[in-house]
Structure formats: C-alpha cells, structure tokens
Amino acid sequence: MKKATKNINIRPLRKEDTAAYFRLIDSNRERLKKYFPQTMAAVTSEAACSKYIERKLKQVKEKELFIFIVLYGGKMAGVYIVKSIDWRVPKCEFAYFIDRKYEGKGIMGKALGLLLTHCFGTFGMNKIFVRISPNNIASQRLVQGKGFELEGVLRNEFRIGTGELEDILYYGKLKGE
C-alpha cells in the first residue's frame, strides 16, 4: 500500500470539530468498542459528542490531558490522546486510533513523530509511554518504529469493552532516545 508522507499534520481538538469527531467515532465504532469503551459509551450521538468534547476541553484547560486531531489532506483521519500526565516526572501516555479507511498509509507514524516532538519540546516531557494489546501488532510496529522500548507486560491490566481483563504491553520512550 502506498505510504502517505505529505499533507499530514496534527492540531488540538476544537469545539467546532464536534460533527467530524462524531463521524470518525461513529464510522469506527465496531472496531473501537473493545479498547475505547468509555469513549464509545460517552459518544452515542452528535449532541453527546458535543458534551464529551466540552468535558475534554475543560481537562485540556486544566492540563490534565490533550487531544490532537490527525489531519490528512485537511480531513480528520485519526486522534492522539495525551493522558495519564504526571507533571512531576514529567511523563504522559499516548492513546490513539485511526479511521479504518486511512490505515496502512504511514499517517499515524508521521503524526506520532510530530506529537513526540511537541510533547518532548513544548510540554517538556521526559518520558512517554503507551499501553498496547498483545494482539495489536500494527500498533506495536508503529511505536517500535519511533524508538519506543518494550518495558514489560502488565498482567490483567485493562478491562476491554466486553468486560474481560487483558494483558497490556508497556512501551516507553525517554527524551533524547
């Protein structure tokens, strides 16, 4: 599949993104419900999405989390969430997803590079980590390609959308690596 390397950018989520954000979630609902169960429960309609975004923007204002939209050719192709922020260390976690129709084009890799630069530079993070399902090989390859190291397996760490507990692979990257 052809890699997309141009026209990829990231920017913070805005209130006026409500309709596009809802379409992104809704068109990928089936594949997101397993690993984004709270988001799926909260974003059930465009009106619910609007309230969800208002709550998230309040958290952004408090510097508790940040949501970045991944743009490909000006269209919303995916999302990166900067969460689990510990400003004392400082470190944060990335969670992310891409619209099914944009998978395999290198978009999330390019966007990940942009976000790493932003978080290590602008936010002054020392460490960034991701927690990935052992079944999500594409996500493992994505972070490995950006220099994340597998730090361990967290057993029964995450309750997926079906209610079952699942192991999680914990990857980390330090500033300067």
Q: Are 115 and 135 in contact (CB under 8 A)?
A: no
**Phi first, then psi: what are they for 58, rounded to 5°?**
-65, -40
Q: Are 91 and 127 in contact (CB under 8 A)?
A: yes
pLDDT band, residue 161 (cuts 50/70/90): confident
pLDDT of 1 reads: 44
**Phi first, then psi: what are they for 137, rounded to 5°?**
-65, -40
Residue 5 has pLDDT above 60, yes or no: no
Beta bridge partners of 153: 169
Q: Tens of pLDDT along 38-94? A: 999 999 999 999 999 999 999 999 999 999 999 999 999 999 999 999 999 999 999
Amino acid found at 147:
G
**What tokens were used for 149?**
């190291």
pLDDT of 3 reads: 56
What is the pLDDT averaged over residues 147-151? 98
Q: Is 0.75 surpassed by the pTM of this model?
A: yes
Give the residue ranges of DSSP H helices in 45-106. 46-61
Domains of the chain, earliest start first: 8-174 (3.40.630.30)
From 87, 88, 82, select the one nearest 65 (Cα to Cα).
82
Determine how β-strand 149-159 pairs with β-strand 8-12: unpaired
Q: Are 164 and 116 in contact (CB under 8 A)?
A: no
Amino acid found at 77:
A
Amino acid found at 177:
E
What is the pLDDT averaged over residues 148-154? 98
